[in-house]
Chain A
Amino acid sequence: MANLRIRDLVKTYDKTQVLHSINLDIDDGEFVVLVGPSGCGKSTTLRLVAGLEEVSNGTIEIAGRVVNNLEPKDRDIAMVFQNYAIYPHMTVRKNIGFGLRSSKASKAEKDKRLESVAELLGMTEYLDRKPSQLSGGQRQRVAIGRAMVRDPAVFLFDEPLSNLDAQLRTQMRLEIKKLHQRVGSTIVFVTHDQVEAMTMADRIVIMKDGDIHQIGTPAEVYHKPANIFVAQFIGAPSMNMIPGRVTGDGTIELATGGGLAFERSLPEGREIILGIRPEDLHPGQASGVIEGSVNVREPLGHETLIYVGTSNGDVIAKADGRTPPEIGETVQLGADPENLHIFDAATGEALA
């Protein structure tokens, strides 16, 4: 177990820079999830930490030791791949034991270690099977087992659940989380699924186009997004964004019409974007800030999503599951001032 420090990490392929000076500190035993859209450099970051790619600039430290020039095997890490990468020609026992090949422990010790990992993962009865005789979830467990036997300082997971069906994914998500609580090792987990990120992480790192946009606990990135990208990336359906402008008396005039008193003082004339999550926006309040007619209803059971047409396009809000407004009905949407997010229109950064 160990901490991981990434300093000014740059990765360049040929002439294209795919990571621009990444900085990240991960504490011992922390579960950190890297999340972001496809191509944002999550895998690249992970592969640089693993030593599968060469660092173009910057340093990577594991347990206080710069590992830039160490071979993957000398970095005290283990990696679980999206495609599992378990060997089809070897039994489960061989596959899990593969991680111990280079260990100097005695045969008996290795066997003991292997047995205990298999037990932890509930794979004891499958030890003599070949991967082709296992289900997807079991294969993934073998891949995790192979990483675990080595008892590495840092675990690296690259979208390990994306090949599983939805139900199994939820189950494995929980299992990995439990596993982390039991073994307490440092984990860096890559996914592009924000639900996975929110449910598993101690801290989430949100990346886009080779930059980190925000690092924070799930609550922080949800309630205090640093910019428009983060605000829209986290949460589903994503946050409504309504352009507006600060008027003389400190209120905000929205593009959808209507004004809004805002506690924090902002310079007059400033162009802003108001962000409101659908779950914070409800119909029926007289003091509504947005008015429009219901275009579409999406019943989810306990609540109903309504798409309300405004002069700035549709705004999504959450209505009651039992008595949602009718289609065509004009509704007033209102939100608690605490749940409003204000972003600078030019930079997209959150304003205090």
Chain B
Amino acid sequence: MATAEDLQVKPKADVLLQTGPSRPPRNMGQIIRFLLLFAGGILMVMPIAFMISTSLKWPHEVYNLNFIPDEPTIENYIYVLEDGRFYWWFLNSLIIAVITTICSVIFDSLVGYTLCKFRFPGRYIVFIAILSTLMIPTEMLVIPWYLMSQQFGWLDTYWGIMFPGLMTAFGTFLMKQFFETVPDDFIEAARIDGLNELQIWWTVAMPLVRPALAALAIFVFLGNWTAFIWPLIVTNSVEMYTLPVGLSSFGDEADVAWELIMTGAAISTIPTLIVFLIFQRFIIRGVVMAGLKG
């Protein structure tokens, strides 16, 4: 999603390069910085450009690495959108990503808040234990997850796909750090005003870390929307596939239908754009400080 920002950097770099000759470069460092950002922007945009380009090609042209298709077509889009399975997968992914996002935003901030604002024995150990799970890659976890799902009969169910992501170590860490910025005075004042701890968390602490919640929501949504390995392993039936798993099944073993996969991928970026646009509104800084001092 960083692409949206990177795209904005490009015109800036252009302007600088154009005005370069007429005005002597005041600052070499600045030029280098722009060039690096420009290169970074290109790197980010390339795959997306190729994705769109490929989705507009006929199958025989897919392996020509030209940007502009010789005979552009929207056949692929029509094919994908007429294929009933696509809607299933899209819906599966949406349900899973939305529920997971809501759950992990709530659970991560609950746990983060507790670890940040309460003193209790073993608090540090719990925190370290949660953090240490960050060091284990998903690839290693899928086997125990699979065995567990098998035992409990969760294979090929929404619950089976979702359960590993309902709470995240990263989110817990992020929220704990952000709750540090909420002054204890706010919490104590609310306590004196008669709120219980859950109410304090919800009405006082949560609104003050809204930017962090928005960032976390974007991360979790994207992570789950694009998750591939675990959904691939835990699902069996085509109707339970998520979008990335479903798209990868286009074509047959001998011949992967890249143009269809890219078409599906292009369509599937739309919800991520929407989520980004919704939540980035909340990322406003300096909300906490306004209640303090003069």
Contact = CB atoms under 8 A, between A and B. Distances in A.
Interface string B125-145: 000000000000000000000
Interface string B186-225: 1011111111000000001001101000000000000000
B289 interface: yes
B294 interface: yes
Contact of B185 (A73, A83, A99): A83
Interface stretch (A56-64, A132-140, A209-217, A296-304): A132-140
B189 A85 contact: yes
Interface string A121-142: 0000000001110011101100
B204 to A, nearest CB: 6
Contacts of A306: none
Nearest to A90: B207
Contacts of B195: 73, 101-102
A99 B210 CA distance: 23
B273 interface: no
A51 B189 CA distance: 11
A87 B192 contact: no
Interface stretch (A74-82, A181-189, A238-246): A74-82
Given A52-B191, A77-B192, A83 B290 contact: no
A146 B193 contact: yes
Interface in B170-191: 183, 185-186, 188-191
Interface string A100-133: 0110000000000000000000000000001110
B292 interface: yes
Contacts of A165: 294
Interface residues of A, number: 36
Contacts of A164: 294
A102 to B, nearest CB: 3
Given A88-B291, A164-B294, A79 B189 contact: yes
Given A50-B192, A52-B191, A73-B192, A85 B183 contact: yes
A36 to B, nearest CB: 21
27 contacts: A50-B188, A71-B191, A72-B191, A72-B194, A73-B193, A77-B192, A83-B183, A83-B185, A83-B293, A84-B291, A85-B185, A85-B188, A87-B208, A87-B291, A88-B287, A88-B289, A88-B290, A88-B291, A88-B292, A102-B195, A135-B294, A136-B293, A139-B291, A146-B189, A146-B193, A163-B294, A165-B294
